[in-house]
Chains A and B, each alone.
Chain A
Amino acid sequence: MIYDQASYRDDSDELYEPLLVEKASKEVAVEDGPLPDDLTRDTLEMPELSEPELARHYTRLSQMNYGVENGPFPLGSCTMKYNPKYIDQVAGLDDAAVHPDRSEGSVQGVLDVMATVQDYLASIGGMDEVTLQPPAGAAGEFTGIAIARAYHRANDDERSEVIIPDSAHGTNFATAAMAGFDVVELPSGEDGRVHLEALEEAVCDDTAALMLTNPNTLGLFERDIEQIADVVHDAGGLVYYDGANLNALLGQARPGDMGFDIMHFNLHKTFAVPHGGGGPGAGPVGVVEDLAEFLPDPHARETDDGDYELYEPAQSIGKVHGYHGNWLNSLRGFAYIARLGGDGLADTSEKAVLNANYLATQVDLEIPYGPFHHEFVASAGDLDAADFAKRMLDYGVHPPTTKWPELVPEALMTEPTETESIETLDALATAFDNVLAEDEATLASAPNRTTAGHIDQASAARNPRLSWHALEDGEE
């Protein structure tokens, strides 16, 4: 049993841990201060606990949470790899904590790191220039599509459509819509890949871009990628690479060499920046040379004198973040890449792909599409994938991503990453197979060994209670 929290259920009949304000709170009157009363609020109520009490509260909360260091975390598309400790230590260096409006001359160290990690990412992606400004993968998509829009406008060629395969991440669709494009959904071929003829039918004079993940969300490499890129380019469109699955390709293949014009990287997936419970991430965007003049403002570069500066690219799309993005994550990403080097990165992808393929041979589930790379999508068959996942929790492991992509019925999208050992993969396989052998009633009653039992999602949405105030109102 890797992770067992069943003892948490014995503590209280009502709560696993009280809210801070339920332990102690204090309401203060705001008065007699340096501002006139008409410019101030009346009262403020906040938790009122000593530091030792807070330390216990947050330690307890941490114990009711599962991270990569608690056990395997094979959440497909999310690349939940081990986060090396030194990268957080360097992010905590005093010299990293500078104000974003400092003069360029006074922050040469920061700009040096930025320009260097830009170069590293450009080399890894086969791109010519990289911006670090987008603060997350979705923000990277937004940046990339804004660059595509600016490029077409600069050519007096306003285009209205973005083509996205049906198996793509939901962010692709949302991004295209946010940027004002109509989404043209591309049905996958029978082999789970882009169907060239369908693509040829979909492109037209209005095609601004194709957004593509490679390997795609089924873990399959788009073998026709060069022809795919040609079809889009021939129609005057650009090809965007969604970097969510880049962990499969480090040092093995580069989006730039495949014909992609724009790509984003996820520093929090591929480059070991901790996921932090859902962020902060970082979503740098790389472009080919012709698009470099559209990158966000400002952009870091090395001068001929060997100094570093910020400049505004000639036809910049402007800003996608108030300042320079999630700088501390750019620094963390630099530290990870520099530790591994080119050979270590290539080995990373080899082990990621080996681990996924090995795990697949050890589970009894059907995996309809292949050959896959760093992740595979198994089917829970007659079982409900969501219930399957809940039952996996009882075996002390984090389950895969469920019910997506929809091309696989009752999908279990599984990405073990390179940082798991063969012993852990075997334990994970045992968890899969144990659940598979169980009946639906057992699955439906799971989980039993987690902090909380099965949580009623429907009632949370039907009767939204989103703050301690709402809980108090509910009790009145």
Chain B
Amino acid sequence: MSDTTEPGNPFTPHTPSDVEQMLDAVDADDATDLFDIPSAVRFDGELGIDARGEQELKREITETLAQNDELVEFMGRGHFAHYVPSMVDELSMRSEFVTSYTQYQPEIAQGFLQALFEFQSMLVELTGLEIANCSIYDAATALGEAATLAQRVRSTSGDRVLVPELLHEGKRGVLENYADGPDLVVDTYPMDDANVDVDGLEAAIDDDVAMVYAENPTVRGTVEENASAVGDLADEHDALFVLGSDPVAMSLLQRPADVGADVVVGEAAMLGLGTAYGMGTGIFATREDYLRQVPGRLVGASEDDDGRRAYTLTLQTREQHIRRERATSNICTNQAWLALRVAMHAAHLGADGMVDLAERMVELPTELAADLDALDGIEAPVHDRHHFREFAARTDRSAADVAADLESEGFAVHAIDDHLLQVCVTDVNEHATDDLVAAMEAVL
């Protein structure tokens, strides 16, 4: 390339003489001549988007995002943050990972395939189930996929799915949309002090139920003590027990397979990503029996023609590009690069690190709740349970008003009901708990 790149598009390498040579080759006067678009639908207007230089644009985006208030967040309810080691950022950003695509040519994608195989393996270890896929969009869509899987694998027809009355509204909403197509009805069962009300569940369940969903920890941050009873009830009615959890919680809490879980769904983005305005990394694990009904991509081990172990996407006949309208799901693009980051983060922690972090997630909310409970005008925790990362607190004042006043003091917490706050504390904000307690005292 002897002459300069054409102005106007920083990401095309064409020089004017390249363009001339190429137009000659294709026998056109201008690139626009190559478009076979009827004039009636040709766009002659302006898109109305101004181009910016990189420096100018970075300044603009930085300034735009700086309109966000700087708050110390004590928020969770399904979207959590733990400290992500720098190693995860630096190594996951290697361009061979981040600019690659789905591993349709496994011979030149062994690196990513192996990383995803290791991600799947970690989830197998954490859940105790035999199969994990290499991610779903987020916890809510994973729950939707679990409901339709439950309906597909059931020997007799069953058109109800049962979810707890305390459930994140995003999960409930997504589940309703997944349930619509296959005519599933979403019903709730009651909770008792933010654990499954086993008698209530027993009253709600019948032989038309294809799935019972429960969470550990629950959306209130309580550790679920009745998971085994849920598993037993689901079994008795030939329903799948779908358990919602996350990799850090599963490092400590009862192993899902040991309480009878048939499917584990949930969020893994607290590892490797953290706070990202709700962007997530959905997980999906299940029993080997349901292997051929699993949605999403699976990486398997095989051999190459030299006899060495090699990895490949496998069981693709479940997927949309082959099975089309009979596919287990329409999902193809997933959260692969975030799954890589989850695996890196988990490997960095190791078994001791995972268990230590999880134990800290039991201690921190207990300590913070006790400190808040000592103040006038607040009771914490509301639920007489063990907690994981977060807890609900009852305020004498309106919870929304308290949350708004805390915001003025530089803190963000959830107001989940008229007089209920929810507060989440992890390793990323524990340095600020004394400040939060002081601010709370000031606003109560």
Contacts and interface: CB of A to CB of B under 8 A. Distances in A.
Interface residues of B, number: 192
B398 to A, nearest CB: 14
**Most chain B Cβ neighbours within 10 Å, of A54, A113, A176:** A54
A180 B69 CA distance: 43
Contact of A469 (B121, B305, B320): B121
Interface string A322-361: 1111111101001101111111111110110111011011
The 5 A-B pairs with the shortest beta carbon distances in the complex, nearest first, are A323-B278, A341-B51, A276-B337, A319-B173, A180-B181
**Which of A13, A88, A126, A275 neighbours the largest number of chain B CB atoms within 10 Å of its CB?**
A275
A5 B338 contact: no
A223 B116 CA distance: 43
Contacts of B96: 62-63, 65-67, 69-70
Contacts of A138: 320, 330-333
Contacts of B53: 339
Contacts, number: 659
Contacts of B275: 97-99
B46 A342 contact: yes
Contacts of A12: 308
A103 B407 contact: yes
Contacts of A326: 137, 279
B300 A464 contact: yes
Contact of A393 (B105, B183, B321, B412): B105
Given A278-B336, A460-B312, A460-B314, A321 B137 contact: yes
A44 B250 CA distance: 9
Given A30-B355, A40-B254, A467 B124 contact: yes
Contact of A460 (B91, B109, B138, B301): B301
Contact of B304 (A19, A47, A455): A455
B360 to A, nearest CB: 9
B253 A39 contact: yes
7 contacts: A3-B108, A19-B114, A58-B91, A178-B181, A278-B332, A326-B137, A358-B22
A58 B302 contact: no
Nearest to A146: B177
Nearest to B41: A258
A361 B254 CA distance: 62
A82 B13 CA distance: 11
Contact of A109 (B67, B280, B407): B67
Contacts of A453: 107, 304-306, 308, 310
Interface in B71-118: 71, 73, 75, 77-79, 85, 87, 89, 91-112, 114-118
A173 interface: yes
Contacts of A105: 69, 407
Bin the interface of chain A by size: 35 or more
Contact of A54 (B19, B168, B348): B348
B383 to A, nearest CB: 15
Nearest to A275: B101
B36 A221 contact: yes
A46 B346 contact: yes
Interface string A222-236: 010110000000000
B325 A280 contact: no
A470 B301 contact: yes
A142 interface: yes
B276 A16 contact: no
A355 B28 CA distance: 13
B203 interface: no
Contacts of A393: 105, 107-108
Interface stretch (A196-204, A286-294, A419-427): A419-427
A142 B330 contact: yes
A155 interface: no
